[in-house]
Amino acid sequence: MSVPIAVIGAGIIGARHARLAAAEPECRLVALVDPAPAAAELAAELGVPHYAEPEAMLATETPEGAVIAVPNDLHAPVGIMCAERGIHLLMEKPVAESVAVGRSIVEAAERAGVAMMVGHHRRFDPALEAAKRIVADEIGGLIAVSAMWSARKPDPYYEVAWRRQAGGGPVLINMIHDIDALRHICGEIVSVYAETVPSRRGHPVEDTAAVVLRFASGALGTITLSDAAPSPWGWEAGTDDNPGIAASGQNCYRFVGATGSLDFPNLTLWRHQGEIPGGWQLPYVSEQRPLGERDSLAWQMRHFCRVVRGEEQPRVSGRDGLATLAATMAVHHSASSGGPVSPDK
């Protein structure tokens, strides 16, 4: 039975969600909510009702699930409004603009007895699951990981006002995805040290960050981030999972362990030839693991339908998404304080 779904917010990611919901056999798009004229045009194209505000939609439609893709500071009022009406939530990341506000949404969903998913769609990428298995079982224990995300966002991207304001920088928009992926593969983050650089475009947000992470296992990690520097190194470029970002096929993460290392996302496993663990005098051998079809955003939508029907538990629950938000906010807290901080869960 198809699940009636409303999409609230029709920006870049909201429009993608709307198209996916309209195409997904397991759900039925019943409304698109956004005051922008482009949203009305998209709703007409998809053949669904358009509403400027969620209150008007909720007074008329009866969705069982809602995708919340509005600006971060609207996540709480819109998400809580839907939860209190018994509507299950797929909340785009981040959960909210702060951990405290995010916690209020999670608690509202729990009180209402509705499921809450957070839109860390990379958890549905088969390369991520393969990397998790390889890091756990085949590199002799994780010692460190390095991650890179660097791209030059085009100037029109910033015509949307909230992207020029606090919380609209690449830490909360982009790095949060990498932090979630590294939490999933490497385990919980217990300490964060970060430096950030103000926007070269003159906006009151960062555009570049360098971060050191310590995981509960004792492994260390680094993330280098910039939305002002063109490069082929980043998740979207490496995996080709975003049609708006040019693909490069280059790796964005490297995991190193006591007996081997892994390039990601091409899943090339590196070891010394012969002896285990070997030594630097030995030649390297590499093995590229096969990877099948990937369509993580579409699979997330299908999973959400099954969560709404009670057939599956959320792959990224509200509490899980809150932990990722806490580790990400720690980047800002560390950059402000000048020292390492622990995520405030």
CA 225, 230, 236, 238 dihedral sign is negative
Q: How confident is the model at residue 345 (pLDDT cuts 50, 70, 90)?
A: low
CA-atom Rg of the chain in angstroms = 21
Instruction: Bin 160: left if φ > 0, else alpha if -120 < ψ < 50, else beta.
Output: beta
Contact indicator for 330, 343 with CB cutoff of 8 Å: yes
In tens, the pLDDT along 210-222 reads 999 999 999 999 9
Q: Among 175, 178, 151, 173, which Cα is nearest to 163's?
A: 173
In tens, the pLDDT along 15-24 reads 999 999 999 9
Judge whether residue 292 has pLDDT over 90. Answer: no
- Amino acid at site 224: T
Would you state the pLDDT for residue 160?
84
Kindly list the strands in the beta sheet with 3-8, ordered across the sheet, starting from the edge strand earlier in the chain.
Answer: 50-51, 27-33, 3-8, 65-68, 88-91, 116-118
User: Yes or no: is domain 3-114 CATH 2.60.40.2470?
Assistant: no
DSSP 151: -
- Which residues fall within 8 angstroms of residue 143, CB to CB, at 6 or more apart? 219, 220, 256, 257, 258
In tens, the pLDDT along 112-131 reads 999 999 999 999 999 999 99
In CATH, what class is 125-293+326-337? alpha beta
Look-up of token digits 């030059």? 152
Distance of CA 277 to the CA centre of its chain: 35
What residue segments make up the domains of the chain, in order of their start?
3-114, 125-293+326-337
End-to-end CA distance of the chain: 37
Instruction: Using DSSP, state whether 79 is helix, strand or coil.
Output: helix
